Structure 1
Amino acid sequence: MDKTAKVINCFKERYNCSQAVLSSFSEELGIDLKHAQKIASAFGGGIARNGETCGAVTGALMVIGLKHWKPELNNDEAKMHIYNMSNRFMKEFKNRNNSVVCKELLGCDLSTDEGRKKMKEENLSEIICEKLLRDATEILEKVV
């Protein structure tokens, strides 16, 4: 199964966007699947359903950090290395989707009952979130 299909499959198993991305890369990152799911568990719905940074983005940024942190560099160099890769990811994601903010991407606020109702009634998980997950995975595979 390719990485994108793995991410979508994980999402369809009721994991949040951040969990789906991080979990799908966990094996190659050398972290246990259950630990990956725990680490990313609070980042769905734009961080705990607050509509902030998209979970597909936060999951991808975790992958970048875990895969490319270079402890042999001093902290400033290591941070700049990660920030540069992360900024490349963010720029491409924004180019494709015009935002990295969950409530802007979805057109609803998941911190409200109305927003969650709209999400469910309009099937936004399948229509929007799956596209964002595909984009994040494709970009991540190019960047890393």
Structure 2
Amino acid sequence: MSKREEAMKLFKAGYNCCQAVVGAFSDDIEIDFKTAMLISSSFGGGMGRMREVCGTVSGMLMVLGLRFGYSNPKAFAEKTEHYKRVQECAGKFKEKNGSIICRELLGLDLKRGEADSHIPSERSKEYYKKRPCVDLVGDAAEILEKFYIK
């Protein structure tokens, strides 16, 4: 199963968008699945349904950090290279989908009160028909698998 398929399967099982991406790569980033789910749990719905940065993008960046990140605050070259990779990865997602912002990807207008609740949406056939989230999760996993985690 490809990482795209694995991430989409996790999302359809009820994990949020960020969890689905991080979970698909938990073995690659050498973190147990439960810890991966806990770390990424706050970032679904554009950070706790605030509709900011898409959870799939946050998930991609978490995977990059755990795989290629730096831990020495004085390692300027490592930090520079990491930020370059982060911007490139997010850029690939934006190029494919038009944005990295959840509300823009979903076509929501927060001024009209669309999706301003902390209550997650029920996962139903209608949910999957009107939301591009399954495909966005797949796109994020595919970008990671194709360009960064081989």
Structure 1 pair 130–121 and aligned structure 2 pair: CA distance change class (3 A):
closer
Indicate the residue corresponding to 1:32 in structure 2.
32
Task: Give 4+ residue runs of structure 1 displaced > 3 Å after superposition.
Answer: 70-74, 119-122, 124-127
Structure ranking higher on relative contact order (CA contacts 8 Å, 6+ apart):
2
1:6 aligns with 2:6: yes
| Number of residue pairs the alignment of both structures matches | 142
String of CA shifts for 1:13-55, please: whole Å, max 9, x gaps.
1110000001110111110100000000000000000000000
Alpha-carbon distance between aligned partners in 1 of 2:24 and 2:139, rounded to the nearest angstrom: 14
Q: Which has the higher helix share?
A: 1
What's the Cα RMSD here?
2.5
Indicate the residue corresponding to 2:48 in structure 1.
48
Indicate the residue corresponding to 1:85 in structure 2.
85
String of CA shifts for 1:57-116, please: whole Å, max 9, x gaps.
000000011111255894222211211111111111111111100011001243248xx5
> Identity of paired residues, percent?
38
Please list every run of 5 or more consecutive structure 1 residues that lacks an aligned counterpart in the other structure.
Answer: none
Indicate the residue corresponding to 1:111 in structure 2.
116
Once the two structures are TM-superposed, the CA of residue 126 in structure 1 deviates from its matched residue by 6.7
Alpha-carbon distance between aligned partners in 2 of 1:69 and 1:90, rounded to the nearest angstrom: 15
* 8 Å Cα contact 1:106/1:124 also seen in 2: no
Q: TM-score normalized by structure 2?
A: 0.83
Alpha-carbon distance between aligned partners in 2 of 1:37 and 1:73, rounded to the nearest angstrom: 26
* 8 Å Cα contact 2:17/2:133 also seen in 1: yes
Q: TM-score normalized by structure 1?
A: 0.86
Structure 1 pair 8–125 and aligned structure 2 pair: CA distance change class (3 A):
farther
